[in-house]
Chains A and B, each alone.
Chain A
Amino acid sequence: MSAAIETVASAARLDAPPAIFMDRVNKWFGSLHVLRDISLDVAHGERVVVCGPSGSGKSTLIRCINRLETHQEGHILVDGIELTDDVRALDAIRREVGMVFQSFNLFPHLTVLENCTLAPIWVRRMPKREAEELAMEYLNKVKIPEQAKKYPGQLSGGQQQRVAIARALCMKPKIMLFDEPTSALDPEMIKEVLDTMVLLADTGMTMICVTHEMGFARQVADRVVFMDQGEIVELGTPETMFNNPQTERLKLFLSQILRGH
């Protein structure tokens, strides 16, 4: 396991800075130690799936990457920029990192198109027409261009999540974070969202995805991170992780997931 970290780390040293570099990150909620000595780096173009039991700190981990949560110890570098209290650095990082939430978090008072163009216009300073063309392009890619003038409340859950993906992509991020994007969806809608994410993975996007969809992990993930009680317990390719789990905790987790499905 530690060998894997080292190989990637050494590869990163030779190359440009890794997309994400986390070094012994610790975080507490009050007295609850939710992230324990997390070290992880993700190369550009790499797809990482994070899994683990509920409450293990998966959401907290990826929310630290765009500073929706602040970490208290250790270092997080995104595309070579360290996350600190410096607002300029944070703005730069948030422009490069897109996020998709479990509960979509679309802006209900704006149309689908306005949801997609707001940030490009105001953060990227893109002219309105250009932003709309870009938005239509991405809405096409997630296969819902015909819904552009509707409000989010008028769409199905699966459609809303695809809009949320398009909204994040409109900022042309280098890294995409997904926090259980399919777990609020009905089974028949999960597939349409996963298909969209597979397409995105094929474009070479750097992705970190918290999900329990093992099929998706096998299909696109370069590496799988298994977390339990705030620490990274195991890390490796989907094949070694799922076919040959090393730790009891992962074995237990996998058996529970398989039973659940």
Chain B
Amino acid sequence: MASDTTLTPVTIPAAPIEARNAPISVVGPVAWARANLFSGPVSTAVTLALGYLIIRWAIGFIDWAFINAVWSVPNNQTQACRDARGVGACWAVVTEKHRFILFGTYPYEEHWRPALACVVFVGLYIVSAMRRFWRKELALIWIAALTTIGVLMWGGVLGMPYVAQERWGGLPITLILSTFGLAFAFPLAIMVALGRRSRMPAIKAICVLYVELIRGVPLISLLFMASVMFPLFLPEGMNIDKLLRAQIAIILFAGAYLAEVVRAGLQALPKGQYEAADALGLSYWNKTGFIILPQALRMVIPPLVNTFIGFFKDTSLVLIIGIFDLLTAGKTAIVEPAWQGFGVEVYITIGLIYFAFCFAMSKYSQSLETELNQHRRR
């Protein structure tokens, strides 16, 4: 051999080698930080600079939001809040006005009714999210829940005084608009997406026209048309509820966007799946219901939920036609001179409510995705 390296004779161990834990420099938080935060001089400098900024900001925020905050004031005496201006948050505005923010101009003594309606909504979401309830009975649960909500909000029976729809407001309006909106828009979207791929030219043309027309206008102008122009076309004396008109506008708008998402799923499905279903003699609806949609919808869960979340927040646009959703109610709550200037606290609160709903949707979609796509794992 040319080189000097002496080869140690290979010894074959008597016993199999036990698996050992990796050294601490390979796994664990220290190794993670070294690899991701301090891997070089630039990286270390950026980490330190950003860390400093984050800590400074966090301390400032905690000071403002908790330590120096004013949590409550004696009946509408906002002096304490005005004194704390700039150094502490005035959560008193939320404590004082939360009923108005949540329920708008709904009669004060009857607030338990919209509150209960919101609880029913959340219960409905939770039940619908559980796969073990994904049966035909779920439709009955929905009908029952929505009827209960209607009875609670309108009243006029069971000793509950009647409350006109004009006085509804706050969170129940947001939940009504988005729940009904998506519950109707989703099936509509599926039909439109299927229609766009139909071999019948008339159906295809109608679906294309619908999607392109609706997508071509902003939601605001659609709401405006629904509220101002639509009644002009109706015969004298006939009047469709303002909330219903806004609801229809939202359904049509969401339907067009969701239809495109569903269509993307239909297109992504390999042609072989359609052919195999055809070759087995499955009818169009059997093929669509058992083979095409289950696969196509699974593929588009992320963009579907993305659209859902977007629409949940877009319901706040109904403010331009004078409907009191959560955001509008919050805005109105601080119109009163005593509370003017405390918008940040109110908006943070409303933001947290929106965030709770959207985050729940997002988390749920992630778990649904892994659960429904189990068959892709080996």
For residue A98, which residue of chain B has the nearest CB?
A: B279
B241 CB contacts on chain A under 8 angstroms: none
Size band of the interface chain B makes with A: 20 to 34
A128 to B294, CA, bound (A): 20
A242 CB contacts on chain B under 8 angstroms: none
A106 to B273, CA, bound (A): 7
The answer on a CB contact under 8 Å between B275 and A101 is: yes
For residue A155, which residue of chain B has the nearest CB?
A: B378
B295 CB contacts on chain A under 8 angstroms: 107-109
For residue A108, which residue of chain B has the nearest CB?
A: B375
The answer on a CB contact under 8 Å between A105 and B378 is: no
Among B51-59, B201-209, B249-257, B280-288, the stretch that binds chain A is: B280-288
Q: B276 interface residue, CB < 8 Å from A? A: yes
B280 CB contacts on chain A under 8 angstroms: 94, 118-119, 123, 167-168, 171
Q: A140 interface residue, CB < 8 Å from B? A: no
The answer on a CB contact under 8 Å between B290 and A68 is: no
A109 to B281, CA, bound (A): 19
What 1/0 flags go to A88-113 for Cβ under 8 Å of B? 00010011011101010111111000
Q: A153 interface residue, CB < 8 Å from B? A: yes
The answer on a CB contact under 8 Å between A107 and B273 is: yes
CB distance from A123 to the nearest CB of B (A): 5
Given A108-B295, A118-B290, A68 and B278 touching (CB < 8 A)?
Answer: yes
Q: A154 interface residue, CB < 8 Å from B? A: yes
> Which B335-378 residues sit within 8 Å CB-CB of chain A?
374-378
The answer on a CB contact under 8 Å between B275 and A123 is: no
The answer on a CB contact under 8 Å between B272 and A101 is: yes
The answer on a CB contact under 8 Å between B281 and A119 is: yes
CB distance from A68 to the nearest CB of B (A): 5
> Which of A66, A91, A107, A167: most chain B Cβ within 10 A?
A107
> Which of A68, A91, A98, A105: most chain B Cβ within 10 A?
A105
CB distance from B15 to the nearest CB of A (A): 36
Q: B291 interface residue, CB < 8 Å from A? A: yes
The answer on a CB contact under 8 Å between A68 and B375 is: no
Q: B111 interface residue, CB < 8 Å from A? A: no
B272 touches which of A103, A119, A151, A171 (Cβ 8 Å)? A103
A201 to B139, CA, bound (A): 49
Q: A122 interface residue, CB < 8 Å from B? A: yes
> Which B280-327 residues sit within 8 Å CB-CB of chain A?
280-283, 286, 290-291, 294-295, 298
The answer on a CB contact under 8 Å between A123 and B281 is: yes
B291 CB contacts on chain A under 8 angstroms: 107
A101 CB contacts on chain B under 8 angstroms: 272, 275-276, 279
For residue B278, which residue of chain A has the nearest CB?
A: A68
17 more A-B residue pairs beyond the given contacts A107-B291, A122-B286, A123-B283, with a C-beta to C-beta distance below 8 A? A68-B278, A68-B279, A94-B279, A99-B276, A99-B279, A103-B272, A107-B277, A108-B375, A109-B294, A109-B298, A118-B282, A122-B282, A122-B290, A151-B375, A153-B377, A168-B280, A171-B281
B residues within 8 Å of A by Cβ?
A: 270, 272-273, 275-283, 286, 290-291, 294-295, 298, 374-378
